[in-house]
Amino acid sequence: MISILRTIWLVFLHAFQRRITVQYPEQKPYLAPRYRGRIVLTRDPDGGERCVACNLCAVACPVGCIALQATEDKTGRRLPEFFRINFSRCIFCGYCEEACPTYAIQLTPDFEMGEFQRKNLVYEKEHLLIDGPGKYPGYNFWRVAGVQIGGKDKGQAAHEEPPVDVHSLMP
């Protein structure tokens, strides 16, 4: 009996407590930096595309919403000819980000992607590419990779020594 009255009283006291509702459209909720939202393709600090079209993200994707086609530019850099994410299929699991060897594909704290037409949820490369490096500001894949591309010969990458002429290696 006392416990019933106590319950009623304690519930009544909640009238004077702060409401925990976030009034969403006016008041934005806090999203952590590593929140898994809209997917973007990032660029190197020098502005080049990071994506090397290795297809690992498309393979890792459990719903198969990523489609891309690899190509090569004149300097020998691999890059996607097209890169397409169907966000009406995407489950925002983040596996693509984990699979990506070049930090190119990243998930961002943005979920406001509502559309009236389903086909508008298919994002092409120009919709996905952003201008900045995303979560890894200093990282430049082509500067640390040992691959030879136009403007960077073998041995010119960071922490890399010039190649050794094996014929000069005498016992």
Q: How far apart are CA 107 and CA 126, in angstroms?
A: 16
Window contacting another protein (CB under 8 A); options: 16-24, 41-49, 115-123, 129-137: 16-24
CB of 2 to another protein, least distance (A): 14
Beta bridge partners of 149: 152
Phi-psi region of 55 (alpha: psi -120 to 50; beta: other; left: phi over 0): left
Nearer to another protein, 7 or 69 (CB): 7
CB of 63 to another protein, least distance (A): 34
Containing 84, the helix (H) or strand (E) segment is strand 78-86
Q: By CB under 8 A, is residue 18 in contact with another protein?
A: yes
Which of positions 21-60 make contact with another protein (CB under 8 A)?
21, 23
111, 68 Cβ separation under 8 angstroms: no
Applying CB under 8 A, the residues found at the interface with another protein are 4, 7-8, 10-12, 14-15, 17-21, 23
